[in-house]
Amino acid sequence: MSVEDNKRVVREFCDHFKKSNANGLIDAMTDDATWWVNGKPHLFPSSGTRTKEDAAKMFRNMFSAYTDGLDMQIVSVIGEGDIVAAETRSHATTKTGKVYENEYAFLFTIRDGKIAKVREYTDLLHVLEVFG
């Protein structure tokens, strides 16, 4: 696939967040996909490496906390080969009325038109602030 095709895969992937489309996110990932989040797992439970199945649970739990999806806006996207880097900003309102707005740097590895690997860098203190 071309770099532009890989960028399109990432854009479509991010669109699934706004729609709370956990199945779309899961289907867009390879069977052996991994999702890594920055931080120390003993300090931040969401940190570390997760399997596709773990990510599926994470998506479903996350979407159940929001009133109307997670608006994931892409600020910038660049790619080279099978790697796409995306800078994004999110906005959501939780069912408890708290506002969740975070910023991310994602590194996606694309294989055969699907997400094979995600490295997520985000503000975990904000995650704790909103979700405890």
Residues 10, 29 contacting (CB under 8 angstroms): no
Q: Which residue has the tokens 């904000």?
A: 126
> What is the pLDDT, as a whole number, of residue 66?
95
Tell me what the pLDDT averaged over the chain comes to.
96
Residue percentage of the chain with pLDDT more than 90: 96
User: CA 65 from chain center: how many Å?
Assistant: 15
C-alpha–C-alpha distance, residues 59 and 70, integer Å: 10
CA quadruple 70, 8, 115, 45: dihedral, nearest 10: -30
The encoded tokens of residue 31 equal 């069977």
Which residue is listed with tokens 């696939």? 1
Domain boundaries of the chain, sorted by first residue: 3-127
Instruction: Give residue-wise pLDDT tens across range 6-64.
Output: 999 999 999 999 999 999 999 999 999 999 999 999 999 889 999 999 999 999 999 99
This prediction has a pTM of 0.94
What mean pLDDT comes out for the span 101-109? Answer: 98
Q: What pLDDT sits at residue 110? A: 98
Q: Give the domain 3-127 fold.
A: Nuclear Transport Factor 2; Chain: A, (3.10.450)
Express each pLDDT in 62-98 by its tens digit: 999 999 999 999 999 999 999 999 999 999 999 999 9
